[in-house]
Amino acid sequence: MADKAKIFAKLLPRLEQVIGGAAARDEKLQRVCDLLRAEVPYFDWVGFYITDPEKRGDLVLGPYRGAPTEHVRISVGTGICGRAAHTRRMFVVQDVSKETNYLACSPDVKAEIVLPILVGGAVWGELDIDSHTLAPFSSEDGEFLGKVCSLVAEMVRGGD
């Protein structure tokens, strides 16, 4: 996708402004989802899963933009989100039909990228993005979304 670099370069300062702003944490996360979904044509579902402080093996759905999902709580190790939390590493799936340990949200979803958000060495949460396009993600997406997650981690560390 030729325009990726341009889109990401324009979007990053806007996201920095939102995440560094004065609003409440979940309002900021919601705005991040809204901006990513609105500005990147192949980001069809954008959401945050947040580690349950009461049950640290679980991820709970936080702010998101896109179709409602039945997967509001995911155990670590389950699906793409749960496995990314387990390994603490970005997980890119270019074709979800090839995955066996996968929690389907909608038959329209073709690909998914999940990035853990680490705070103090632990998984605080994750940024999860579904695409209706097959194999849409490149290293540019990983780099850009990694920066977004670092900004969110900084915000969380700062006490928001």
Which residues would be at the binding site for ligand SME (CB under 6 A)?
Answer: 45, 47, 69, 71, 74, 79-82, 102-103, 105, 112, 128, 130
Go through 140-158 and write b for each residue having 16 or more CB atoms within 10 A of its CB, e for each that does not. Answer: ebeebbeebbebbbebbee
| Shortest separation between residue 5's beta carbon and ligand SME, angstroms | 26
Whichever of 17 and 101 has its CB closer to ligand SME, that residue is 101
Whichever of 63 and 82 has its CB closer to ligand SME, that residue is 82
Whichever of 84 and 153 has its CB closer to ligand SME, that residue is 84
Whichever of 142 and 160 has its CB closer to ligand SME, that residue is 142
The residue at minimum Cβ distance from ligand SME is 79
Name the helix (H) or strand (E) containing 8.
helix 4-19
Of the candidates 121, 110, 144, the residue with the CA atom closest to the CA atom of residue 32: 144
Of the candidates 31, 51, 36, the residue with the CA atom closest to the CA atom of residue 144: 36
- Cα 100 from Cα 114, distance rounded (Å): 16
| Shortest separation between residue 105's beta carbon and ligand SME, angstroms | 4
Whichever of 69 and 150 has its CB closer to ligand SME, that residue is 69
| Shortest separation between residue 129's beta carbon and ligand SME, angstroms | 8
- Cα 75 from Cα 145, distance rounded (Å): 23
| Shortest separation between residue 66's beta carbon and ligand SME, angstroms | 8
* E strands in the chain: 45-51, 58-65, 73-75, 91-93, 111-119, 122-131
Of the candidates 57, 37, 58, the residue with the CA atom closest to the CA atom of residue 47: 37
| Shortest separation between residue 80's beta carbon and ligand SME, angstroms | 4
